[in-house]
Amino acid sequence: MLQESQLDSRLEIDRLMEQYGSSLLRMSALYLKDADLAQDAVQETFLKAYRHLNDYRGDSSEKTWLATICVNTCRDMLRTAWFRHQSRINMSSLPERTADFTFPDNTVLTEVMRLPSDGKVRSRLNKANGILRERLKEWYYDEES
């Protein structure tokens, strides 16, 4: 039998999954470049969020909190010995994987690929975010509003 606090936590995590699950999946897929790994990352993200739901202080939005957990989970997955070993395999000998999801069009992917490449500097990431926000303002609406 679930205690009342556990039931509240499960209802809260269900709400978060419903509200942010698809955007976290898209972000993970772009980060990991693999649909199956992206699904694993999102599942792991919500498990971590469930375990630490009581630690959420509200210093940032729920979306930012979950996105941070998700990005860190993706980074952890990319650091694993298994992933590093897999990246050394000749990918041309493997069958091509297809994504289990589709984007409505390639607008976002095209704009992301056009960004200047530099993954080390946070200011460049903020600049890239601003560029994308401006270029895609009519294509995509803000989920928080």
The answer as to CATH 3.40.630.30 being correct for domain 4-97 is no
* Spatial separation of the C-alpha atoms in residues 128 and 15, rounded to whole Å: 30
What H or E segment, with its residue span, contains residue 71?
helix 62-79
Q: What is the pLDDT of residues 67-89, one digit of tens each?
A: 999 999 999 998 886 766 665 54
Q: What is the pLDDT of residues 86-143, one digit of tens each?
A: 655 444 444 555 455 565 667 776 776 676 667 566 677 778 888 888 887 776 555 4
Q: Which amino acid is at 45?
A: T
Sequence spans of domains, the chain: 4-97, 103-145
DSSP state string for 74-141 = HHHHHHSHHHHHHHHS-GGGSPPP--SS--SSSHHHHHHHHSPP-SS-HHHHHHHHHHHHHHTTTT--
Length of the chain in terms of residues written: 145
